[in-house]
Structure 1
Amino acid sequence: MGILEIQEKFEIEDSDLSFDQLVREAPDEVAATINEKSVIILPSHGTESAFYTGTLDTLDFLNEEGLDADIYVNDEEYKELGLHGADIWLGTYFVKNFVVPVFCSVIGAYLYEKLKAKKDDKVSVKFVVEKKNGESCAVSYDGKVDDIGKAIDAVKRISDES
């Protein structure tokens, strides 16, 4: 493998994050806005209020496609991380179980239709999926856009299994 070839990272692991925990630990203003949401975009790179550039566009696309989504921060504290390079950094999404099929279709459409991603582009994304029993599982993917289907299929399987 050449130094410039894309190395794929694909992980599935249990997560201790829950929707109830997100609401409980959020500032009151954020808790009030996310309480009834089905998809929550979480801060990036372990920060409390920084999101990848383009997060607001992603949020708008999710909502336009019928997913009730929001960002896990209040407006005054929202900051964007400007990462340079050709990579597509989508961030971390907490997805409630009942919207997984729609979410998977919409996120794929976002990549290909809105961002015009090419199959050899590199994408980085993490999905935290809430199971029916309230537990959650995280699916992380870093690799070629063309192979993101394995991460999306894993999200669907997690949803179907619970």
Structure 2
Amino acid sequence: MKHEVFDKKIEIEETDITFDSIYDKPFIPQDYIEDIKKADILIIPEENFREEGDVLFPETTREFLEYLQEQIPKDMSVDIAISDEDFRKIELHSDLVNVATIIVSSTAFSIACSMVASFLYDMAKKLLKRPQDLNAKVKIISEETKTKKTKSITYEGPVSGIKEALEQASKDLFKDENDAK
């Protein structure tokens, strides 16, 4: 059985999603808010996926969180913006690996991109697929530390193209800030 492999598609756009806007969401467990605020990489849910009030995560989210926790440098932290009791996942059963959306500080962006790419290569291996034969969808929101401006990077395409696409996005993402200096 052959599945269609997408062409690479990458979009970079400004967004109003910030760490602070996430902290104010009703799904944030107030018992753990101080720990969540320490995260350099925060996994956030899809809101209103099928109906008003839905707060869901892609089916690979727990594996992704564990992977990040194992791989993250010792001076950084990762967390998820929900309590264990409220965690709900959506299983779409397609030949597309949906990675949970993450928000990162601009200083953690390149590390996060590298870990996302490594996670997807490991997923391809686990699924016994070649990276060029497995599609992925990734969304990373990067918050510029000083200005608090945020940009969203969405990649959809073969796992084999994600590292290069995110590296290029990284150059484009911070071009405006670097040109202003």
TM-score (norm 2): 0.77
Write the mapping of 1:3-22 to structure 2, written as runs, cut at 5 A: 4=4, 6-22=6-22
State the AA in 1 paired with 2:56.
Answer: A
Counterpart of 2:88 in structure 1 is 79
Deviation for aligned residue 1:88 = 0.8
Counterpart of 1:135 in structure 2 is 149
Counterpart of 2:102 in structure 1 is 93
RMSD of the alignment, in Å?
2.3
Match of 1:106 among 115, 121, 128: 115
Counterpart of 1:31 in structure 2 is 33
Unmatched segments (≥5 aa) in structure 2: none
**Residues 92 and 10 from structure 1, CA distance in 2 versus in 1: closer, same or farther, beyond 3 angstroms?**
same
Counterpart of 2:70 in structure 1 is 64
Unmatched segments (≥5 aa) in structure 1: none
State the AA in 1 paired with 2:144.
Answer: K
Q: Secondary structure at the match of 2:133?
A: coil
Deviation for aligned residue 1:115 = 4.2
Counterpart of 2:134 in structure 1 is 121
Deviation for aligned residue 1:27 = 4.2
Larger radius of gyration between Structure 1 and Structure 2: 2
* Identity value in percent: 24
Residues 41 and 77 in structure 2, CA contact (< 8 A), matched pair in contact too: yes
Residues 100 and 159 in structure 1, CA contact (< 8 A), matched pair in contact too: no
Q: In 2, Cα distance between the equivalents of 1:156 and 1:107?
A: 17
Residues 56 and 88 in structure 2, CA contact (< 8 A), matched pair in contact too: yes
Q: In 1, Cα distance between the equivalents of 2:96 and 2:88?
A: 19
TM-score (norm 1): 0.85
